Structure 1
Amino acid sequence: MTEPRLRRDQSGWLLASTTLTLAPHAEHLPLALGALCALLLLWRGILAHTGRALPHRLLLLALAAGIVAIVQIEFKHLFGKDPGIALLAGLLSLKLLETDSVRDGRAVVLLSFFMQLGQFLYQQNMAIAALALLGSVAAIASLLALQGSVTAPRLRAGAATRLVLQGVPLMLVLFVLFPRVQGPLWGLPADAYSSVTGLSNSMAPGDMARLSESSEIAFRAAFEGDLPPPAERYWRGPVLSRFDGHTWRPGRTHATDAPAYRSQGIAHSYTLTLEPHNQSWLLALDFPGSVPGLIYTDNFQLLSREPVRSRQRLTLVSYPHTPVGLDESPNILRQALDLPAGFNPRTRELGARLHAEANGADDIVTRTIAHFRNSRLRYTLDPAPLGRDDVDSFLFDTQQGFCEHFSAAFVVTLRAAGVPARVVTGYQGGEFNPVDGTLVIRQSDAHAWTEVWLAGQGWVRIDPTAASAPLRIQNGLAAAMPDSAHLPLLARTDLAWLRDLRNRLDALDNSWNQWVLGYNPARQKALLAALGFAEPDWQVLTALMGAASAIVMGLLTIWALRRRSSADAIDRSWTRFCRRLKTIGYERATWEGPLDFAERLARQRPDLADTVRRIASDYARLRYGPADADPALGQRFHQSIKNFRPR
């Protein structure tokens, strides 16, 4: 039996669902492949509109080979998340150009569903979920179009939306009870975390400036009580002690299960919600108290035992005024004085001069800060290129740079003057969101500062950026940049409406992260324990899912059986019409059809003949005629009966 060919409306729905499905993938596709997919979809739309024949199979085979070649050239292989999604995107676009039957249309819909799932391999945020939901509605509408007759797009979309809503209760049951899987949806080690951004474990000129151009959220902090002042909002990341003349890297460290310091002073309690960055550092405020299961290094970093590959929530207490490193080991101090030979001779000379003029280490630090301030160094995201001796070029030639330039130059100067110092990277500041009461720290808040070791004081934080750009510490990156500086749109503070919109979207996104994406195995276990299932195994979970699903399906069945359909509305109006005639003495016999009843009534009441014949004819067409009757006919039928007042 020959498969029926697609109608124009069916082709239109398939094209719409495919376009909505592929649109979110555009940013992940190679430029050439994305352009080719757009051209193929446009080509199919023109063919559907004009009614022309689909292209020959040989041409389709050549296009398929071209798609495979583009993916191979771009990714160097055909296996894995990125090349696999790219290949499917191209083939889905191409599939439309050979789809001319209902059977092929169903294959396009199934591919669309698979590609909607593929969106979550990159991100699982609320925007992606909304796009996937929109694509699913379009795909279901396509299935309805493939099965039914021509219907107005608005009615078709409404029917698809109702079907999706009917599936929501069952979706909630599976969401709550299906065993949670910790970690990303994609597990191949080669590319599971290729898209994460954040701090690196090294620092070279320009690294922080590039990172600060991103408005992505690095983490959020919800404090109990007042926020710490801006001068204490330093979120500690990698500590860099080794310098090769160009790049800073971590030194040798020792890790323990408890901090090497005794916490004291003001305490800040907060919950940290950390975005995945595929590294072990946890970016806590200085200096966190003991938390079981975490790792503390001798350079005061807080680490996780595994790389942070999924969103994590930690409840911490930090004590920023705790003295640390009072009895520092000689090996660490020697490492904090080391400078590579043959680099930055002018900065070495500056350090030697400061050492000769000063009265002790404290005075050297004070004089170095004064030198930086008096040099009128300029804070900018777009510094001039540096020479081989980066620090010399920054301090004496260009005199413009970002935080990594300031911190590196400060440490090199102090080391040349005989004072142990090192670079600390992390984040500084954050913006309070009044909508949900959290402090939001973005990649644009990435920062580098220094720590100096002073006898009797231990390691002391000194931020040389504050000497030239104090507004950076007090009010954030945007306040420290000149008006012409290139900033991420979401980092700008001069647009109040944009800031308010961003805060609301951030709060909504945070709620999604906490309650949907944050529903991890621990939270599922806690919920089930609250319901009386302390240690549920797979058998218990299976029984719970089965029982809950049966209840949901039963309720939906009862609702469907009691649901009033459009046919019910037609019968209700017809019954009202017959009841009004009965009240004036003209009752319809049980065996009498609508047209026969109208004819008998017309003979008995000629004054009502035209009205009752029209109403009876409309009822017969609506009740027993084609399912795709004109919607205007139904409106006329109901309105006619509403206005019918026989006497």
Structure 2
Amino acid sequence: MLGTLALVGAAHAPYLPLWISLGALACGLWSWVNLNRWRRLPPRTLRFALTLLAIGGVYLSYGELLGQEAGTALLLCMSALKLLELRSRRDAILLIGLGFFLVGTQFLRSQELPMAFYLGFCTLGLIISLMGTTRESAPRHPLAHVPQAGAILLQALPLAALLFFLFPRLDGPLWAMPEDDQAAMTGLSDSMEPGSIGELAQSDAVAFRVEFDGDHPQAPQRYWRGPVFEAYDGRRWQKHDQLHDMTEAATTADDVDKWRYTITLEPHGQPWLFGLDLPVDLDLNGARTRGGQTWERDREVNRRIRYQGESALDYALGGSLDDQRREVNQHLEGDRHPETVALAQGWLEETEDPQALLGHAISFFREQSFGYTLSPPLMQADMVDEFLFEHQQGFCEHFAAAFAVMMRAVGVPTRVVTGYLGGEMNPAGDYMIVRQSDAHAWNEVWLEGEGWVRVDPTVLAAPTRLDEGLEASVSDPDSVPAMARFDASWLRGLQLRWDAVNMTWHRWMLGYGPEMQRQWLERLGLTSWQQAVMALGGALVALSLLLAWITLYRGAPRPSDPAVRAWQKLTRKLGRKGLPPQPAEPPNRYAQRVARARPDLAPGILQLARLYQQYRYEPAPREADLRALREGVRKLRP
């Protein structure tokens, strides 16, 4: 029991203050030494004082005693202190029960596959401890309980699977509490400013995974559209609340090929969804288009979700530009960025044609010696002017912001689009992995007759970003996270295979939310929650009765001696004819009683009894006797 509780506590240790882990370890060591040597409990006053200290320490560490983190820490402290008064079977059973609760609380923090196996092993250890503690007879070696404990777990699996499949799913993480929905989430934020995307790009965490129906797009086509920012205050780009609620028309030709795919999106704490640029349809309950052809849910993505998408790479976005959207996308704040504005407005002396002005801006970014880096110098006074004319070192947000300022300075409506650029096909699972390191920003400019047109100034300055990815394009490749580097080492291959295993786990276990449950239940004809609850209740009753029947009426264990099995088969045949053996009746007396009741069976039954006794009790049993016994039992027809 102590060993299993130590394993459970070790899973919590990385998330707890050091003093709690050391205190729990000290209580466990004291209990082990006490049970083996001292046989003396500490004074009650000491235990009471330690309890008060633990409660005070948890409050000082977390500022509260409730909630996920503080509550788990307090539960672990109380479990450890319970070891100091371990004196009876009741105390041990209570400790094991607390161990089950601690296993459950660890799932609030992590539901990954390795942790699930680890906690399953801990659960098996707790069941073994419970069986050994409640056993009335002499103690057995703990491993002697493994088969029965494993059988208990196997019997629980059908019930667990039924509850998992039919019990109404909550719209939240599989285990997490609502107050912890935003914990440990990474992704694009609701605004863009210097360093925001560069910082995100240094993480190799998975943003989403994509399974394509057929071929997958080539590298230059892997723009994944996310939030669109049109409001600009001189430093920060963010969505414009009024324009964000106004959808824009997206048109494609009837004969344009469309990409169809399924995205498994990791939780990122924001409402937007991602699709291959340009997404024309996303099949998810509660999903809708917003301004800039951004797709959003009606709530934040706080759990892993799956949805199907359809995209067209040849499209026209925005049939016309109303006055409000034109004004917002031409706006520049006061006298900000004077050098950039002066440069751009100098082009107006040559032409006022938007296409020609766009060509000037493209040429500027291609001809200058810009550096693409994850570690740009600090720019505080004027991010755009310092980037273009002093440092010329930046990440995609610097390029996108500077390009938008240039075009707005000459009256061409321009906005910033954020999302991801790239993706790596995993050969072990035939799906694409898009990581946070693929985070990217680009621009869209409005051209009369064409609508919003994508322009990526980062690719103008660093063309390899489009075809060869982040590592090949930045000036500091060592800063690129490990999993974002395209090497062919055996370790990376192993990591990709492990990701394929995780993909399956995420898809069918952690990703099984309200949407997937609704789809499966509709296939079964269960279209309402009332029908699902009735089906769940009926299935639970039926499964419980089946398990009870298997447990209670499976009969005596099958004997290992083949002669005993043959003799039992004989007695069952005769028992069905009203001649069962009496308790503790020897075989020869049973055969004589049958012979008196059924003279027609007398020769055969007496011979079979003699063969049985010879094989069972002779010092050197003969296989011929066993064969004759089996054959005689088979032929007997009472």
* Alignment TM class, shorter chain as reference: 0.7 to 0.9
Give the alignment partner of residue 169 of structure 1, picking from 130, 138, 158. Answer: 158
1:354 is displaced (CA, Å) by 4.0
Answer yes or no: is the 8 Å Cα contact 1:414–1:420 preserved in 2: yes
Q: Does 1:202 align with 2:191?
A: yes
TM-score normalised over the length of structure 1:
0.78
Give the alignment partner of residue 478 of structure 2, picking from 485, 499, 508. Answer: 485
Letter in 2 for 1:201: D
Classify the secondary structure of the residue corresponding to 1:121.
Answer: coil
Structure 2 CA distance for partners of 1:260 and 1:23, relative to 1, 3 Å: farther
1:57 is displaced (CA, Å) by 4.1
Match for residue 541 of structure 2? 546
Classify the secondary structure of the residue corresponding to 2:180.
Answer: coil
1:339 is displaced (CA, Å) by 1.7
Match for residue 363 of structure 2? 370
Letter in 2 for 1:140: I
Structure 2 CA distance for partners of 1:398 and 1:573, relative to 1, 3 Å: farther
Classify the secondary structure of the residue corresponding to 1:485.
Answer: helix
- Return the alpha-carbon distance in structure 2 between the equivalents of residues 190 and 174 of structure 1: 25
Q: Does 1:75 align with 2:62?
A: yes
Answer yes or no: is the 8 Å Cα contact 1:280–1:303 preserved in 2: yes
CA RMSD of aligned residues (A): 3.6
- Return the alpha-carbon distance in structure 1 between the equivalents of residues 59 and 456 of structure 2: 48
Structure 2 CA distance for partners of 1:185 and 1:59, relative to 1, 3 Å: farther
Q: Deviations over 1:196-220 (max 9, x none)?
A: 3221101122211222232322222
Match for residue 442 of structure 1? 435
- Return the alpha-carbon distance in structure 1 between the equivalents of residues 320 and 181 of structure 2: 42
1:507 is displaced (CA, Å) by 1.8
- Return the alpha-carbon distance in structure 1 between the equivalents of residues 398 and 46 of structure 2: 57
Q: Deviations over 1:229-251 (max 9, x none)?
A: 22222221111122223222111
Letter in 2 for 1:554: W
Letter in 2 for 1:511: T
Classify the secondary structure of the residue corresponding to 2:173.
Answer: coil
Match for residue 79 of structure 2? 92
Match for residue 570 of structure 2? none
Q: Deviations over 1:596-626 (max 9, x none)?
A: xxxxxxxxxxxxxxxxxxxxxxxxxxxxxxx
Structure 2 CA distance for partners of 1:451 and 1:25, relative to 1, 3 Å: farther
Structure 2 CA distance for partners of 1:555 and 1:533, relative to 1, 3 Å: farther
Aligned residues: 570
Match for residue 91 of structure 2? 104
- Return the alpha-carbon distance in structure 2 between the equivalents of residues 193 and 305 of structure 1: 17
Match for residue 276 of structure 2? 285
Structure 2 CA distance for partners of 1:235 and 1:439, relative to 1, 3 Å: same
1:382 is displaced (CA, Å) by 2.2
Classify the secondary structure of the residue corresponding to 1:372.
Answer: helix
Match for residue 591 of structure 2? none
Classify the secondary structure of the residue corresponding to 1:213.
Answer: coil
Letter in 1 for 2:13: A
Match for residue 119 of structure 1? 106
Match for residue 318 of structure 2? 325
Structure 1 unaligned spans of 5+ = 1-13, 577-588, 592-639, 643-647
Letter in 2 for 1:441: V
Q: Deviations over 1:16-63 (max 9, x none)?
A: 222322333334334554555455556656666765755444444444
Q: Does 1:555 align with 2:544?
A: no
- Return the alpha-carbon distance in structure 2 between the equivalents of residues 50 and 409 of structure 1: 75
Classify the secondary structure of the residue corresponding to 1:328.
Answer: coil
Match for residue 214 of structure 1? 203
- Return the alpha-carbon distance in structure 2 between the equivalents of residues 26 and 96 of structure 1: 18
Identity of aligned residues (%): 37
Structure 2 CA distance for partners of 1:472 and 1:26, relative to 1, 3 Å: farther
1:189 is displaced (CA, Å) by 4.6
- Return the alpha-carbon distance in structure 2 between the equivalents of residues 62 and 471 of structure 1: 66
1:133 is displaced (CA, Å) by 0.8
Letter in 2 for 1:300: Q
Structure 2 CA distance for partners of 1:44 and 1:242, relative to 1, 3 Å: farther
Structure 2 unaligned spans of 5+ = 567-584, 588-618, 622-638
Q: Deviations over 1:149-186 (max 9, x none)?
A: 55445444455334322322333333334444443356
Classify the secondary structure of the residue corresponding to 1:289.
Answer: strand
1:258 is displaced (CA, Å) by 7.6
Q: Deviations over 1:433-483 (max 9, x none)?
A: 222221122222221111122222221111122123333332333333456
- Return the alpha-carbon distance in structure 1 between the equivalents of residues 464 and 32 of structure 2: 55
Answer yes or no: is the 8 Å Cα contact 2:371–2:475 preserved in 1: no
- Return the alpha-carbon distance in structure 1 between the equivalents of residues 101 and 386 of structure 2: 54
Match for residue 382 of structure 1? 375
**79-88 vs 532-541, which deviates more?**
532-541
TM-score normalised over the length of structure 2:
0.79
- Return the alpha-carbon distance in structure 1 between the equivalents of residues 90 and 360 of structure 2: 80
Match for residue 632 of structure 1? none
1:269 is displaced (CA, Å) by 0.9
